[in-house]
C-alpha cells in the first residue's frame, strides 16, 4: 500500500510568508505616508507663492487706479503744505471732496499709517481685528466703469466730473438729482462709483460684522470698502488673501516743486528735478506736503503657510524695510514663509507732475 504525499506549505513557511508580507506592507505604508506628507508640503509652498503673488497683484490693481477721478484733475486745487490731512474714514459725501477744514481730499490718492499710528489714522478698523506690527493704507479713486443715473445704488457713493469744470460732484445714489454737471455738448457728465478702500492685515479670515469669527484665525489681507452695506453708507470688511502675515509700505516721493532739494540718508543735500518720479522712499510721512508728493509705493509682504510644519523651525530674519526686521519666535517659527516685494508707480499721480 502506497503512502500519500503531503501537499501545501508548512506552518513555518506560512509564517515566513506572512512576515515578509507584513514587512512589505509596512514599507509601502511608510512610503505612502512620506509621499503624502511631501505632497502636503509642496502644496503648502505653492499656496504661499500663489498667495504672495496674488496679494501683490490685488494691491497693484487698485494702486494703478489711484488718483483717477474721471475728467477731474485735482492739480488745479493742489493742497497747501499747512492744510490738515483728510479723514481717511470719512463717510459723509459732502466731505469726501472738500473736508470740513477745506482740504481737497482727492489730492491724496493714498494715505497710510504704520502700526503705531494705525488706529489714529484709520479709526474705522476694528482694533481687535488688527494683526500687530503691520502697515495699512487707503486708496482713493473712482471705478473705471461709467454708470447711468438710472442704475445708481441708493447708499453707494458716486463722483461726477466733466472736463470743463475744475470741481467734481460727490453724492450717494439716493441723491441722483445732485449730479448736474454737463459737457459743452449739453450731455450729462460721466458718473462713476467712488469707493474709498483701506487695506490692512487682520488676524483672521472672517471679520464679517466687524468682529473676527471664532475658528477663522489666520493672518489675512483685508480691505475696508466704503459703500452700501444694505442699511447705511459705511465700510464693509472683506477678506482678500489668506496667509499674509506682514505688510510694510514705503512711499516714493517726488521731492521737486516748492522744495527743490532734500537730504539723503548720508546727509548729502541733493537737488532734484520736477519729473513725477520718486526721489526718495520713506515709510513714515509727517506732513501734508509729503503725502501730496507720493508717486509710488514699495510694498513688502510676508506670506505664511496656513499650517505648522512638524519639526520645522524658521531661523531666518526678514528685512521688510530699512530698520524694519521681522524674526519669527515661539510657535510662529514653526510656519514656513516667503517674502515678496514690489514697487508700484502711481501713473495717475506721477504723470501730472511731469
* Longest CA–CA separation in the chain, Å: 125
Is residue 91 assigned to a domain? yes
Between residues 147 and 32, the one the model is more confident about: 147
Domain that holds residue 160: 41-353
Confidence of residue 259 (pLDDT cuts 50, 70, 90): very low
Q: How far apart are CA 225 and CA 141, in angstroms?
A: 12
Q: Is 88 exposed, middle or buried (0-12, 13-18, 19+ CB in 10 A)?
A: buried
Closest CA to 343 of 242, 252, 217, 220: 252
Q: What is the pTM of this model?
A: 0.85
Confidence of residue 263 (pLDDT cuts 50, 70, 90): low
Confidence of residue 96 (pLDDT cuts 50, 70, 90): very high
Is residue 192 assigned to a domain? yes
The pLDDT tens digits for 301-324 are 999 988 888 888 999 999 999 999
Closest CA to 283 of 244, 255, 253: 253
Is residue 34 assigned to a domain? no
Give the percent of the chain with pLDDT over 70.
87
Is residue 2 assigned to a domain? no
Is residue 36 assigned to a domain? no
Give the total number of structural domains in the chain: 1
Is residue 99 assigned to a domain? yes
Q: How far apart are CA 347 and CA 60, in angstroms?
A: 12
Half-sphere exposure of 127 (CA within 13 A, CB side): 7
Is residue 11 assigned to a domain? no
Amino acid at each position: 500500500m502506497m503512502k500519500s504525499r503531503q501537499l501545501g506549505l508548512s506552518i513555518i513557511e506560512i509564517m515566513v510568508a506572512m512576515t515578509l508580507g507584513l514587512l512589505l506592507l509596512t514599507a509601502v505604508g511608510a512610503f505612502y505616508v512620506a509621499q503624502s506628507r511631501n505632497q502636503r508640503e509642496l502644496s503648502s509652498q505653492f499656496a504661499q507663492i500663489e498667495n504672495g503673488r496674488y496679494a501683490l497683484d490685488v494691491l497693484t490693481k487698485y494702486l494703478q487706479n489711484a488718483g483717477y477721478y474721471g475728467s477731474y484733475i485735482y492739480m488745479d486745487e493742489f493742497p497747501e503744505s499747512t492744510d490738515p490731512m483728510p479723514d481717511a474714514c470719512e463717510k459723509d459725501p459732502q466731505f469726501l471732496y472738500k473736508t470740513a477744514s477745506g482740504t481737497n481730499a482727492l489730492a491724496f490718492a493714498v494715505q497710510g499709517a504704520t502700526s503705531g499710528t494705525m488706529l489714529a489714522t484709520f479709526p474705522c478698523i476694528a482694533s481687535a481685528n488688527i494683526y500687530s506690527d503691520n502697515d495699512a493704507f487707503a486708496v482713493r479713486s473712482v471705478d473705471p466703469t461709467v454708470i447711468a443715473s438710472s442704475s445708481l445704488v441708493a447708499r453707494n457713493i458716486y463722483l461726477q466730473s466733466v472736463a470743463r469744470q475744475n470741481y467734481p460732484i460727490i453724492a450717494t445714489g439716493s441723491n441722483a438729482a445732485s449730479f448736474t454737471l454737463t459737457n459743452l455738448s449739453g450731455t450729462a457728465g460721466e458718473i462713476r462709483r467712488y469707493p474709498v478702500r483701506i487695506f490692512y492685515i487682520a488676524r483672521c479670515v472672517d471679520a464679517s460684522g466687524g468682529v473676527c469669527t471664532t475658528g477663522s484665525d489666520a493672518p489675512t489681507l483685508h480691505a475696508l470698502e466704503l459703500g452700501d452695506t444694505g442699511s447705511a453708507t459705511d465700510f464693509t470688511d472683506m477678506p482678500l488673501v489668506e496667509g499674509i502675515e506682514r505688510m510694510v509700505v514705503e512711499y516714493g516721493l517726488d521731492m521737486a516743486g516748492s522744495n527743490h532739494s532734500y537730504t539723503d540718508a548720508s546727509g548729502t543735500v541733493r537737488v532734484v528735478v520736477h519729473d513725477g518720479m520718486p526721489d526718495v522712499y520713506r515709510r513714515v510721512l509727517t506732513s501734508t506736503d509729503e503725502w501730496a508728493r507720493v508717486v509710488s509705493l514699495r510694498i513688502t509682504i510676508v506670506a505664511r503657510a496656513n499650517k505648522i510644519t512638524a519639526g520645522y523651525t524658521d531661523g531666518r530674519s526678514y528685512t521688510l524695510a530699512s530698520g524694519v526686521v521681522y524674526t519669527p519666535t515661539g510657535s510662529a517659527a514653526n510656519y514656513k514663509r516667503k517674502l515678496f516685494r514690489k514697487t508700484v508707480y502711481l501713473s495717475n499721480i506721477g504723470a501730472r507732475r511731469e
